[in-house]
Structure 1
């Protein structure tokens, strides 16, 4: 999903420009409002009262019956940007209100205001029950979030140089989770420089993050930032879900969409962001139905919104640390990094794989500071007009090489083997061979990285596998590693789920399950625990395959849950 919008710098006089204004802020007819009344309740506000505030949980969608509401966006530095004034017949919400997330903007009554408040659960019911009207509302909710992201004025403020490795880490985290934010360089902004002088005692404290409520964080972890931003809520620990999906890549999102749309109560947990490794792909061109290609972020974003529309609860970022398969009272128990426990009648393992770290000398010292395992527009800007090295020979490496060739001066593509035909799709090989600034280095490997004392990558050492003693040096500030991934299954230790030699989850007949019933192809050795996508042994490791398995497992979930609910004879 994309939409063009422009906005000036964060000052009190700037306002947004919406080229798709009619779709972003439609006006409802009196008849449409009448159809919506059964989903909401009247709410009145006096002049100056807040309907919702940035950083606080939103109550749902407001339909303005009379009066006007001023919508503004603010950041942690006190900058307030007018967004729009909305009046009778218009509705106030963006995509986060499908699940009652914290508000990203402020809304204040201008004069006396009468509204109809539709809470999140009733809003989701409205979207399903009133299909035509729901389509218009859903489109508007998505476009509003897109405009807030592209406006570049609200949300947390990241203070520091764009070249900081941790700046790219935090930017990626916020961007992958669809959170508006913007960057200010203290070298060009006095207020930012003053904050650095006050809060950053050393380089390790940078970047600073100033949240909309004024909280200042020193080079936070993703979890710390998420908690400060209200991204992680306190979900009811006494709730019993029909299914908990661990992982929100293509397979997990597909499971969430199909399971929730068929009436199952679904919780989705992911340690970092929705989309998985596919979400970091610059362009996917071989997925059915997208002849011109689609970015992984756009594809995952649509699925993420779709899952919320059907009522799936998205718990991101929440890392799962263990699974208790003792099945007390007919439920599995997931323990999370934040100390909470979640219970579900069934589990879908969709945790995918973690980026593999090759044996390269000094690699750890430069991860996130010039060594990258993905290639997004953020990294593309960092390596503009520079030479870069990319290691890998699969489709992900090919997509990244083509993407980076549009930014970098030259891309050295380092491949351990003697060709690409066995590991990469033909269309990518053709595109790479046609790119004048991609140089293929077959039968080669990177052996070491070097840099400055402040942690900046400066050099990459490589050699031919046929001449291991002849080591060459390239002046490189950005190294991209796409050398495969290992299954993220550590959290399954001790629960009885069978893994293969590579650590992938074994399913179906190979799981050696013997419980007097046929074993569904995607069920593991523990009844009620299923596995889909890259984490599953024997999966095809493609976006299309992952989505197909995510849809397929829902039939097995229905069968298992139906059997589990039958009374014992």
Structure 2
């Protein structure tokens, strides 16, 4: 069994250190081992010993004003030893500005003011949130799913993304570089030709598993549980999860159907820093996991399936799933989101999933350790990925066609990138070709009209998006780009006026089919921000109620 994760408190004031140690043990000793250190150097020595013994570290709390090594400096160095541990700075009110600056510079997760009395209000809630987020990402040794495969296998990459998208703790073992992988595979009935192989916590082994097999092992439902729902939400991005939370909490029998994993495109974001209420930011996966958990707790049913068709029968909406099953519902909320556009350059098809990835592909970041990686695109998603990858890669190059990032990226991200030494922007450039045998090895750049061939470990693509609505545009009206038309657009534009048949005007988020609503990035005119997607998903449930009450 793995030892309890460690919480380490650091303060040179023995009285304060004793107080924080007492409060931490009172609340967390059942699930965590609480350690303390009287200086930054002593704490670093403790961390190195914990690392040598391969013990998990969950949380660091360090006082800012310590002689010899301030708290921020200690937390920066500690990040190199335990990059995934949550980091909290203890500070006096006078040091608040320094603490806020350190959120960006030292990538702190939070800061707390001293004194924290009563801890039930000023200490424990924050630490519980941080520890829950750490537990969701933590991959314990020899527990959960162990996935053996080849680093450059597209199927291995797909399985890693699927498991991480559902916050399933798994251990990745590269067959070519990890001796443990060969020993572990030898205990099964499979060989290297059968990879990737998933070994589950209960000892069962799946060779080259498909989604259905993994879903079954994860205990997720494979078929809808009811014959009729009040509302079915198609898509589990931020808008879909918000619809599910509000639908279920307001008494509607709610089903949410998602073909990939919760969070949508936002769920792949390494760090969202401009979402209201999270001043230190959080990953898209954390946000999605919290919302999914909330929706299920409130009574929403989750189905990991793909909807392939939608039709209306006697006023009811009937959705056909990829398994062939049908779902009947009184109302539908389409929150299908968008997917990244593909990069059309020579050599990319053979390397997709083997060094070329669409979106942040956080599961591949560790494999880029001390290597050069390239990001194509200049939006916020590209900037967030660059900051995340800079933790691992030797150098991160952002390839953009324009002169600068100012036109497409938020100012806070541009400032962070400018302060990160190993991130370089390549303006007026584009990828001309990709080269490699079984994986990406070189990128060919058109850099201001000059051809350059550069070594590359990975290429991450963020070049705009297209709506995931191709399966439904034969039933509801879409614009020329495939975005779903809703509300006043259906009655004010003469091209679409004949599509609306009711005496009343369509509700704000209603499509041309009464009772079918659209929210989030796939809706025409929507703002591509997480907060607006959540707002639309919540608002859609209000209109569902109005429709059902007609």
If the length of structure 1 is used for normalisation, what is the TM-score? 0.70
1:243-276 CA-partner distances (Å, limit 9, x unpaired): 0000000000111111111111110010111011
The yes-or-no answer on 1:358 pairing with 2:338 is no
Distance 1:221 1:456 in 2: 23
**Match among 508, 533, 544 for residue 521 of structure 1:** 508
1:505-526 CA-partner distances (Å, limit 9, x unpaired): 0111112324100211110011
1:47-90 CA-partner distances (Å, limit 9, x unpaired): xxxxxxxxxxxxxxxxxxxxxxxxxxxxxxxxxxxxxxxxxxxx
Distance 2:211 2:354 in 1: 16
The yes-or-no answer on 1:471 pairing with 2:451 is yes
Change (3 A) 1:474 1:271: same
Distance 1:514 1:147 in 2: 48
Change (3 A) 1:145 1:283: closer
Distance 1:435 1:201 in 2: 40
- Secondary structure, in 3 states, of the residue corresponding to 2:445? strand
The yes-or-no answer on 1:534 pairing with 2:518 is no
Change (3 A) 1:195 1:168: farther
**Match among 452, 472, 488 for residue 468 of structure 2:** 488
Partner of 1:227: 216
The yes-or-no answer on 1:459 pairing with 2:442 is yes
**Match among 297, 314, 323 for residue 309 of structure 1:** 297
Partner of 2:538: 551
**Match among 256, 259, 265 for residue 277 of structure 1:** 265
Partner of 1:9: none
Q: How many residues align?
A: 429
Distance 1:361 1:457 in 2: 12
Per the TM alignment, residue 146 of structure 1 is displaced from its structure 2 partner at its CA by 3.0
Distance 1:233 1:23 in 2: 39
Partner of 2:198: 209
Distance 2:395 2:367 in 1: 14
1:81-108 CA-partner distances (Å, limit 9, x unpaired): xxxxxxxxxxxxxxxxxxxxxxxxxxxx
The answer on whether the counterparts of 1:279 and 1:297 sit within 8 Å (CA) in structure 2 is yes
Partner of 2:353: 368
The yes-or-no answer on 1:181 pairing with 2:152 is no
Change (3 A) 1:460 1:144: closer
What is the 5 A alignment of 1:63-462?
143=132, 146=135, 150-162=139-151, 164-186=153-175, 187-189=178-180, 191-195=183-187, 198-200=189-191, 202=193, 205-236=194-225, 238=227, 240-315=228-303, 317-324=304-311, 326-328=312-314, 330-452=315-437, 455-462=438-445
Distance 1:21 1:230 in 2: 34
Change (3 A) 1:312 1:462: same
- Secondary structure, in 3 states, of the residue corresponding to 2:179? coil
The answer on whether the counterparts of 2:137 and 2:167 sit within 8 Å (CA) in structure 1 is no
Distance 2:136 2:26 in 1: 13
Change (3 A) 1:152 1:558: farther
Change (3 A) 1:182 1:426: same
The answer on whether the counterparts of 1:245 and 1:255 sit within 8 Å (CA) in structure 2 is yes
1:275-318 CA-partner distances (Å, limit 9, x unpaired): 11111111111111111111111111111111111101011x21
Distance 1:305 1:438 in 2: 35
The answer on whether the counterparts of 1:237 and 1:341 sit within 8 Å (CA) in structure 2 is no
The answer on whether the counterparts of 1:416 and 1:442 sit within 8 Å (CA) in structure 2 is yes
- Bigger shift: 515-524 or 417-426? 417-426
Distance 2:454 2:269 in 1: 26
**Match among 500, 507, 517 for residue 486 of structure 2:** 507
The answer on whether the counterparts of 2:395 and 2:424 sit within 8 Å (CA) in structure 1 is yes
In the alignment, structure 2 segments of 5+ residues that lack a partner are 8-23, 32-123, 491-496
Distance 1:25 1:148 in 2: 21
Distance 1:475 1:538 in 2: 40
1:426-469 CA-partner distances (Å, limit 9, x unpaired): 111122222221211112111211111xx2111111103x52xx
The answer on whether the counterparts of 2:520 and 2:532 sit within 8 Å (CA) in structure 1 is yes
Per the TM alignment, residue 151 of structure 1 is displaced from its structure 2 partner at its CA by 2.7
The answer on whether the counterparts of 1:353 and 1:488 sit within 8 Å (CA) in structure 2 is yes
Distance 1:395 1:352 in 2: 17
- Secondary structure, in 3 states, of the residue corresponding to 2:255? strand
Considering only aligned residues, what root-mean-square deviation do their CA atoms show, in Å? 2.7
Distance 1:409 1:438 in 2: 9
The answer on whether the counterparts of 1:322 and 1:493 sit within 8 Å (CA) in structure 2 is no
Per the TM alignment, residue 546 of structure 1 is displaced from its structure 2 partner at its CA by 0.3
Change (3 A) 1:427 1:292: same
Change (3 A) 1:16 1:176: same
- Secondary structure, in 3 states, of the residue corresponding to 1:279? helix
Partner of 1:54: none
Change (3 A) 1:185 1:368: closer
- Secondary structure, in 3 states, of the residue corresponding to 1:276? coil
Distance 1:478 1:242 in 2: 45
Per the TM alignment, residue 381 of structure 1 is displaced from its structure 2 partner at its CA by 0.5
Partner of 1:109: none
Distance 2:199 2:209 in 1: 11
